[in-house]
Structures are given as structure tokens and as C-alpha cells.
Amino acid sequence: MRLEVSLQKRLRDFTLSVDFVAEDEVFALLGASGCGKSMTLRCIAGLEQPDAGRIVLDGRVLFDSKAGINLSPQERRIGYLFQNYALFPNMTVAENIVFALEGTKEEKKRILAENIARFHLEGLEKAYPAALSGGQQQRVAFARILATGAKLLLLDEPFSALDSHLKWQLELMVMDVLSSLGGAAILVSHARSEAYRMAERIAVMERGTLLTVAGKKEVFRHPATLSGALLTGCKNVSAVTREGEALTAADWGLTLELEGTAVPEDLRYVGIRAHDLSLVEGPGRNTFEMEVVRAIEDVFSYRILLRPIGSGAKPLLWEAAKDVWREASARPRLFIHVPLDRLLWLGR
Amino acid sequence: MELSPFYITLKTAAVSTFLTFFIGIGLAFLVLRMKRGKGLADAIITLPMVLPPTVVGFFLLLVFGKRSTLGSFLLEQGIPIVFTWKAAVMAAVIVSLPLMYRTARGAFEQMDENILSAARTLGVSEWRIFWHILLPNSRHGILAGLVLAFTRALGEFGATIMFAGNIPGTTQTMSTAVYAAVQANDYDLAFLWAGALVVFSLFFVVLMSVWVARLSHGKTS
């Protein structure tokens, strides 16, 4: 399975312009709502027409603006899982699953039985969608798509409509489905951890363009752009200016010593994740005495807002395990180390 | 007593509603899918609802009358329209069409677009989507439109009398019979037909609300 996507489409506020190739993998489009990620899926499925570009699935041209090719969604045979599952309300679970199938009665019966078993829908065959829970509806929607034999799945925010405890179970199920599919899936999500758990590669998207396309570890370790850092959950960012070996992070009120560390030429911001700040015993390089602005207890950790003593700077968020914070809060003076190797160097 | 206005009314309303049903739903579907000129098409189809029926009848007379190309052509083919039962049906169709069209269109617009998109990505043809998904899920609105169109056709007067006339035994319906009876100072007869129309219309409107209530009740089970 190989999907090549290159498309441009003028939207109301910006122009959608994406290029990527997905092979046998789970590929995630990560972006804030309204950034054009769902529109990208709709264009791939043929529900919307791009202004220009080319979409090729396994050598089959689905769309080519230059050659005037634009296959209908029916001809594309791409599985699309809608955010609200979009089951047919006037049909039972069984009818929903077989409705799009072609072939003899026996074949349909066999495919139905297979998918009912695969998605644990036994006993619900005669139920109508309105009587099902969100999780059950999603399983029916999956069964309906896979019954048609689709090899490429497009998942549009598949878990956003579910309660968090259900989310986790369904995520496991979806991962099983995707690994048994033997095809590719494109996941659209605004939740970074969901994208990280499910996908192998992640494309960070902002206002219609892909900022970075890389392996998920790379995307989280080196987001490269300010919005990439924020989308991957970096809570602390600051504009920086460099003078020789001194790097001043104005927003934080800190000046870091580079100690010969190579930084990108176009460096404009730095970021540090809340759990990468560390508590140290006393003064040292890139270590600062901080005062606590606020400490907020979370379920398994503390979130502490810090700033250099006496400065009016924007507070840094430090996430510390409960015992670490208990120890730190007992100290008369608080020294926090900013490790250079954990800094995110951000271009724009 | 002459019972023909009763039969003619029922026959005209039944046949015109049958035609209105398909034309109204078809137009609703087409207009919704139009990319340009939606507003204009909508206005034209809705016009007979807001125009005085006599004006509708007058235009029908102009289009199908002897002096028009179409009217004289049809007459040459041996198909007279004006002052025939066909004209009564046509008048009823034109006048009741906006009701069917608007309720069907409203019902189609209520439909979750994702459900239709899902069917498309599953490979279901547009024709099957229309008959097996769009129509069944819009049944409440369509049913309401059907009853409204039928009751409107039952009571149609202005366009009918302009275009089909008031010929006893051919085009005289209950509503034109009321008018004729009053003109002839026969108030007993006028009362009779007026009462019949009230009873009929009431019956169908009540039938519709009961029907719709039962359908929406059964939907969740």
C-alpha cells in the first residue's frame, strides 16, 4: 500500500497545501481544530475536490487536476471513519454492515458473521444505532468499513466523542484492527498523546500546511517550529537572542550559557518540556534560583509555576513527581537546572 | 342530488398528489444539489404558494390556451387542456407543489451529511443512497408534505376555476360547487359541500398528526 498525496485547495481563511506519502503504516496528521486536517481526509476520500494536485493510491490515480481525473468516492474504495460514526439510522446493525456489500446472500452472510465476531457485536445484530452506546456505534462503523474490504482507512478524530475510559479500550481495539489490516491508515487528531501511541509517523499541521513530517520520536524530540513545539505539548517557550555563547531567553528572564553547543542559524525560540526541568542541590551552570509563583496538585504529580527570584518574568511550568516536590518545597532555597540537551531549538 | 363534485374532487386530489409527490421530491433533491441559482429556483417553485391562485390560473391559461403556441399545438394533436379535467389536475399540482417541495427540502436538509458521505465512501450508488437512506430518514417530513399537498389540492379553487372552469360533471369540484351554489342562491347545497370539505380536510390533518406521532414514537424502538 502506497498513498501519494499532493493537493492544494483554497479555503476561507487560508490555502490548504499538503504533500506527503504514506506506506504500510499508521500516519497521523496532528493539528489544532480548523487547521485543515479533516479537509485533507475529505479530499483523499473524494468527498471534496482539491483545486489542484494529484492523489495516487497503489499506482491508481484517484485525482489529477492536470489530467482531469477525479474519481467519485464510490470508485475510490477508501474506508472513512467519521467522528460521529455516521451509521444509517433506519437500518439495524446487521443491515448497516451488509448494505454496501455486493455478492450472493451466502457471501454477505459470511462477511457479516465474520465482522460481528471480530468486533464483538454478537446479540446486537437487530439493534438500531440509536439504541447503541458510543463505543458500540464505533465498532459497528468499523465493521461496516472493513466488510467492504477497504485497505486504506481514514480516521477522523476517532475518539473525540467518547468518554475517557472507553477511549482507552477502543484505542487498543483500533490498534489491533490496524495491525491486522495489512494496509495503511491516516489518523487525524488534535491529541498529541493519541497520535504518539497510535502512529509511526506524524505530520504536524498548521493553517493548511505541514510543518514537519517525521517519525514520531523525532517530531516530539525536535519539533523544529514554535507551533510544532506547542502542538506536541511543550508548555514552556521563549523568544531568544544570541550573543556569542550567551543565549537570552527574554520571556523567562534567563540567560543560558551555550558551552559550545551547536544551535541552528535561524534560531528564534527555545522550548523546554515541563518534566525536563530538574531540581538540583545548589548553584551551577545553567542553574537558577527560582521562586514559586504557584503549585497546583495534579493526580500523579505537581505542576509548579516558577520564575527567577525577583524577576517579573513569565513563569516556567515545572512538572515534578509528588515526592520530588515534597522534598523541594521543604528547602529554604530552590535551584532549578535547565539542561541544554533537553532544549527544543525552534526556528519559527 | 348530484354527487359528481365529490368524486371529481377526490379523483383530482388523489391524482395531483401522486404527481406532486414525485415532482416535489425530485425538485427538492435537485435544488439542494444545485451549485448556482439555488435561490432563484427556490423562489420560482415557491411562487404559486404566495401568488393569488387566480393569477396562477391566469398564467396557466396563457401557457395552455388556444392563443399560445403550446396550447394550439396540443389542440391540433387532439389534446385539449383548458376547461378539461386534466386542467383541474394541473392547477392542483402547481398550487400544492410548493408545500411538498418545501417540506421535502426541509427534511432533506435535516439529514446528517456525514451519513450520506459515509454511504458514498462505502461504494453505495447515489440512486441507492436516495431511495434507501435519504428518503426513509426523511419520511416524517415527506409524509407531512404529502398530507399538506393533498388537503391543499382538496380545497383548490382559484386556479381551478380560471383554468378548468366550473363544468358540472367534468371539472366542478366541491369548492367550485360551493361557489356555484351561492351564486344560484342555493344555500343548503353550499352548506352541504362546505361542510363536506371541512370534515374531509380535518380528517386528513388529524390522520397526519396521529401518523407522524406514531412514527416518531416507533423510531427509537
| B121 neighbourhood in chain A, CB within 8 Å | 45-47, 73-74, 76, 78-80
Q: Which residue of A has its CA nearest to B116?
A: A86
Could A74 and B120 be called an inter-chain contact, meaning their C-beta atoms sit closer than 8 Å? yes
Mean per-residue pLDDT for A98-127? 94
Could A76 and B137 be called an inter-chain contact, meaning their C-beta atoms sit closer than 8 Å? no
**Model pLDDT, residue B122:** 96
* Mean pLDDT, all residues of chain A: 91
A42, A77, A90 ranked by CB distance to B123: nearest = A77
CB atoms within 10 A of CB A227: 21
Q: Which of A26-35, A157-166, A314-323, B153-162 has the lowest mean pLDDT?
A: A157-166
CATH of the domain spanning B4-220: 1.10.3720.10
- How close is the nearest chain A Cα to the Cα of B120, in Å? 5
| pLDDT tens profile A221-271 | 888 888 888 888 899 999 999 888 899 999 999 999 988 888 888 899 999
Give the position of cell 393569477: B55
A88, A128, A144 ranked by CB distance to B133: nearest = A88
C-alpha distances in Å from residue A259, one per residue of A162, A340, A344, B53, B81: 48, 9, 16, 90, 98
**Model pLDDT, residue B217:** 62
Nearest to A19 by CA among A9, A11, A31: A9
Mean per-residue pLDDT for B142-157? 91
Mean per-residue pLDDT for A175-186? 83
Selected residues 118-137 of chain B with any CB under 8 Å from a CB in chain A: 118-125, 132-133, 136-137
Mean per-residue pLDDT for B165-186? 93
Share of chain A above pLDDT 70, in %: 100
Could A99 and B124 be called an inter-chain contact, meaning their C-beta atoms sit closer than 8 Å? yes
Mean per-residue pLDDT for A150-161? 88
Nearest to B209 by CA among B140, B152, B111, B150: B140
C-alpha distances in Å from residue B132, one per residue of A184, B119, B139, B214: 31, 10, 11, 21
* Predicted confidence (pLDDT) at residue B220 exceeds the cutoff of 50: no
Give the position of cell 388529524: B206
**Model pLDDT, residue B221:** 37
Could B121 and A73 be called an inter-chain contact, meaning their C-beta atoms sit closer than 8 Å? yes
Could A80 and B118 be called an inter-chain contact, meaning their C-beta atoms sit closer than 8 Å? yes
| pLDDT tens profile A40-86 | 999 999 999 999 999 999 999 999 999 999 999 999 999 999 989 99
A74, A84, A131 ranked by CB distance to B125: nearest = A74
| pLDDT tens profile A7-23 | 999 999 999 999 999 99
**Model pLDDT, residue B97:** 96
Q: How far is CA A155 from the centre of its chain?
A: 12
* Predicted confidence (pLDDT) at residue A161 exceeds the cutoff of 60: yes
pLDDT confidence bin for B218, thresholds 50/70/90: low
**Can you give the residue ranges of every domain in chain B?**
4-220
Grid coordinates representing A188 are 487525524
Report the distance separating Cα A218 and Cα A210, nearest Å: 15
| pLDDT tens profile B36-93 | 889 999 999 999 999 999 999 999 999 998 888 898 899 888 888 889 999 999 999 9
Residues of A with CB under 8 A from a CB of B: 42, 45-47, 72-74, 76-80, 82-84, 86-90, 99-100, 128, 130-131, 141, 144-145, 148
